[in-house]
Amino acid sequence: DAGMRVFSWRNLPEIYRLWASGRPVTWAEHHQWFRRVLESPVHLLWIVAIPVDEVFNAAGSCYLIGIVHLDFEDPPAAWVSIYLTPGHTGKGYGPDAIRQACAQGFARWPEMSQASALIRGDNLPSIKSFRKAGFQFPNEIPYWCGASLYRKDVTSAVAGRQNEDGT
């Protein structure tokens, strides 16, 4: 079941230590959140999947590696959150998932003018992923940092995956 899989991922120490609460969530907390997200027209949630052949060199299926979520409860910005399971960061999956989620959010909600993220300053994989996805950060990264991608900039950010050197 997807809810149980997302719950188990969310409670991995490598993931929860980087969230605002810094702690695992209970099943009751997760179940309430997951149900609300799935039933709400102002939330979009995707399971991030990669082809099995990228992991096991076998074609025909997908390997599930995390989630990306858009929260549009506070227009005109949608809040973006993402996590990937250990071993799947730094490979371009995060920026791709963020770009695709933002593109779908901009398409679904015409009044959405920006996608925003609030990231811990010590969460370097997320900072790198959001930068590669086209998000703009302030000059200095404090303990918590905000990043935004604006509708007018989404065409170039979604156009394609950047290489490690930013090209």
pLDDT (tens digit, 9 = 90+) per residue, 118-132? 888 888 899 999 999
Cβ atoms within 10 Å of 46's Cβ, excluding its own: 15
Backbone region of residue 60 per phi and psi (left: phi > 0; alpha: psi in -120 to 50; beta: other values):
left
Least confident of 5-14, 15-24, 89-98, 154-163: 154-163
For residue 77, what are the β-bridge partners?
114
Average pLDDT over every residue of 6-27: 93
**7-11, 75-79, 93-97, 117-121: least confidently modelled range:** 117-121
What six digits make up the tokens of 49? 């999947």
Percent of the chain with pLDDT over 70: 84
How far apart, in whole angstroms, are the C-alpha atoms of residue 18 and residue 120? 7
The reported pLDDT for the residue numbered 159 is 42
Q: Which residue type sits at 36?
A: R
Provide the sign of the torsion angle of the four alpha carbons 2, 28, 120, 70, taken in this order.
positive
Do residues 94 and 84 lie in contact, with contact meaning Cβ atoms separated by under 8 Å?
A: yes
